[in-house]
Amino acid sequence: MKILSIVGARPNFVKMFPLTKIINKSKHDHILVHTGQHYDINMSDIFFKEMDVKPADYNLGVGSGLHGYQTGEMLKAIEKVIIENEPDVVIVPGDTNSTISGALAAAKLHVKVAHLEAGLRSFNRRMPEEINRILTDHCSDLLFCPTHVAVRNLKNEGITKNVFQTGDTMYEIAFMIEDKVNAIPRRDEIPDEYLLSTIHRAENTTDEKLPKIMDELGRLNLPVVIPLHPRTKRKLQSLKLLEKTNNNLNIIDPVGFFEFSKLLKDSKAIITDSGGVQKEAYWHEKPCVTVREQTEWLETIEAGGNILAKPTEIKEKLDIMLSNEIAFKKELYGYKDTSLRILKILETLEK
C-alpha cells in the first residue's frame, strides 16, 4: 500500500511522529509531505532533527498568509503531489490549514482520507481550527478518534461509519521519548520552581487581549517561563511591550519538542491556549489553566485537571487549580500502541 501523509505545522509533526516511525518500518510505501505552513527553524526543522526522522519527501514551501491564500496555495500544491504519486490513502493529522487542504485535495481526487485526531469539537465556529476539524471529518473515509468524547461528537453529526477510538498518538509519544526528555539538563536561566506558559492563538494575540494576558502573568506568585511563539513576539514588539515585560516573566525562544516536554514536566502548573499542551499537562499531572472560552479537550475539564479562563481571570483560576486535589486518570487518553492500532486498520484497505 502507498500511504501519503501531510504535515505543515508543529502540532502535525508531533501527532504524526509515532505513526511515521511505524509505517516507515512496515512493508508499505510512505510519502511525507511538508506544506511549509511552519517554516521557522525552531518551529519546524528542529523537530525532524531531534526526532531522528528523515526529512519530508516534499516541502511545498507555502509559508504564512491569510487563511484563504494559505489554504488555496496548499490545495494546489498538494493536488499535484497526489496526482504524481497516486497513493491509496492520505493521512491528515489535527486541525490546521494543512489538514483541511490535504483532506480536500484527496477527497476531490477520490483518494481515501484518514483523519488522525478526528471528532474534536470546541463548538466555537469563530475558531479557524473548528472549521478545519468539521470539514475534514465530513470528507474523511477513516476517522481515528483519541477519546470517547470525540466518537460521541461524530455520532451527534451523523458520522458513524469507519469511526475508530484508537487513543492519542501524543499520549503514545510521551512514553516513547521519556528517557531522552529526562536526560535534558535544565538551562541556567530557568528557576527552580516556575510556571510554564504558551500563548499564541490569534484570538489572544490582539491589541486588546495580549496586554491583559501579559499583565496577569506578571502578577502570578511564581516566575513564569514563556517559550515565545513568533506570532506572539511580533505582536508584543508592535505593541512595544516586549521590553516592558515584568521581571517575573522569563521569555525564551521557542524550544524543541524534547526540551518543551522537559520544561512542562518540571513546572508547577501550565497556562496555555494550545490544544496539545492541555493534554500534555494532564498526563504529566500538571494543573492547567486554558486561556480560552472553549476547549476541544473537554475530558480534561470534566476530570478536573484543566480550567478555562478569560485573560483577566488567569491568577484567580490558577489559585483555584493549585489549591485543588486533582485525581488524574491515566486511562483518559487510551493506549501506548495507538500507531500500531491505526496501521492495522489502514491495512484492512488492502483487502
The three cell numbers of residue 309 are 479562563
What pLDDT score does 266 carry? 96
pTM attached to this predicted model? 0.84
Give residues with Cβ within 8 angstroms of 62, minimum separation 6: 8, 35, 36, 37, 70, 73, 74, 77
Give residues with Cβ within 8 angstroms of 141, minimum separation 6: 89, 112, 113, 114, 162
Measure the CA–CA gap between 160 and 174, rounded to whole angstroms.
Answer: 29
| From 38, 115, 200, 229, active-site residue | 200
Spell out where 63-122 has E strands: 89-93, 112-116
The three cell numbers of residue 211 are 496586554
What pLDDT score does 257 carry? 84
Residues in the chain where the model's pLDDT stays below 70: 38-53, 244-245, 350-351
Q: Between 3.30.930.10, 3.40.50.2000, 2.70.180.20, 3.40.50.12780, what CATH number should domain 180-332 receive?
A: 3.40.50.2000
The three cell numbers of residue 156 are 451527534
At 114, the amino acid letter reads: A
What tens digit of pLDDT does each residue of 185-235 get? Answer: 989 989 999 999 999 988 999 999 999 999 999 999 999 999 998 889 999
| Beta bridge pairs of residue 144 | 116, 164
Residue appearing with cell numbers 478555562: 308
What tens digit of pLDDT does each residue of 55-94 get? Answer: 889 999 888 788 899 999 999 999 999 999 999 999 999 9
What pLDDT score does 51 carry? 66
Query: Under a CB-based contact definition with an 8 Å cutoff, are residues 69 and 77 in contact?
Result: no
- State the DSSP H helix or E strand holding residue 251, giving kind and residue range, or none if neither: strand 249-252
* CATH topology identical between 2-168+334-350 and 180-332: yes
What pLDDT score does 41 carry? 44
Catalytic (active site) residue 200: yes
Distance in angstroms between the alpha carbons of the first and the last residue of the chain: 11
- The ranges assigned to domains in the chain are 2-168+334-350, 180-332
Q: Give CATH superfamily name and number for 2-168+334-350.
A: Glycogen Phosphorylase B; (3.40.50.2000)
**What share of residues in the chain are helix, strand, coil (percent, to 5)?**
45, 15, 40
- C-alpha triplet 318, 324, 325: angle, nearest 5°: 140
